[in-house]
Structure 1
Amino acid sequence: MNPVFRMDADVRWRDMDAFGHVNNAAFLGYVEEARVQWFKSLSSDWAAETSAPIMAAVTMNYRRPIVWPETLTVELLAERVGNKSLTLAHRIVSAGDPSVVYGDGNTVLVWVDRAGQSVVLPEGVRAACSL
């Protein structure tokens, strides 16, 4: 499975917790930022269209602690493309050594219209997942 999107991110000092490593919630923030950047790369008005993705489920496996300073690479991979939903796998690795995996998992996204009804995936998203 090849990544549909990659994003580098510097660990911020404020991401750390009292134990001197990145707080678990920041892992999800890195993945969220990668998803938003990917959507923006597909369509400049992705959040203003007639439909938008909502998160139905998320998993994160914490493989090892991240400490500051570090530059991360967040990879998104199309794990499953359904009619109205998309499962994106994610991996957080060291940008300097991609064999160092900090976390992985997946996110299930469902496309809904402004009334909250599920709708068919946008063609641009479907096309980006088949690369």
Structure 2
Amino acid sequence: MSHVVHQVELEVRWRDLDAFNHVNNASYLGYIEEARVRWFKSLSEDWAGETAAPIMAAVAVNYRRPINWPETVRIELIADRMGTKSLTIGHRITSAADPGVLYCDGHTVLVWVDRAGQSVPLPDKVRAACEPAA
């Protein structure tokens, strides 16, 4: 099932740097979150609607090399595993100028929940977006 479902390019901001003048590890998660939110928004304006929204159940990030400034990064989201109520999305951050430069990879597990905190089935638009193209 693994295939890219969304990708976005983001500029590294000066404020993302740490004391060693490379991107702080927490900023990697922010880049991945921004890509994920943009993907959901492209699927539906009410992706985090009145009745249900995704929450992060787990995240794994393998830091492969530091990101320096200035840089434009490409974040790819990959549909890895789809359950009834959860979705595992792989992620990769590479250099936009040179996709062979891998900064990190890993995955995020999301579960859709209602306002009472009970898990609910994945939205149809998310499910359809994760299905491999025929």
Same fold (TM over 0.5): yes
Gap runs ≥5 in structure 1:
none
Is 1:103 the counterpart of 2:107? The answer is no
Provide the residue aligned with 1:68 in structure 2.
69
Matched residue of 1:55: which SS? strand
Q: Does 1:19 align with 2:20?
A: yes
Q: Which amino acid aligns with 2:59?
A: V
Q: CA deviation at 1:49?
A: 3.9
In the alignment, the residues of structure 2 paired with residue 101 and residue 2 of structure 1 have an alpha-carbon distance, to the nearest angstrom, of: 17
TM-score (norm 1): 0.98
Q: Which runs of 4+ in 1 moved over 3 A?
A: none
Question: Are 1:56 and 2:57 counterparts?
Answer: yes
CA RMSD, Structure 1 to Structure 2 (Å)? 0.7
Q: CA deviation at 1:47?
A: 1.4
Q: Provide structure 2 residue ranges, at least 5 long, that are not aligned to the other structure.
A: none
Aligned counterparts of 1:79 and 1:88: Cα–Cα separation in 2: 5
Query: What is the match of residue 46 of structure 2?
Result: 45
Q: What secondary structure, in the 3-state scheme, does the structure 2 residue paired with 1:64 have?
A: coil
* Identical positions, percent: 69
CA-CA distance at 1:48 after TM superposition:
1.8
TM-score calculated relative to the size of structure 2: 0.96
Equivalence for 1:5: 6
Q: Which residue of 1 aligns with 2:80?
A: 79
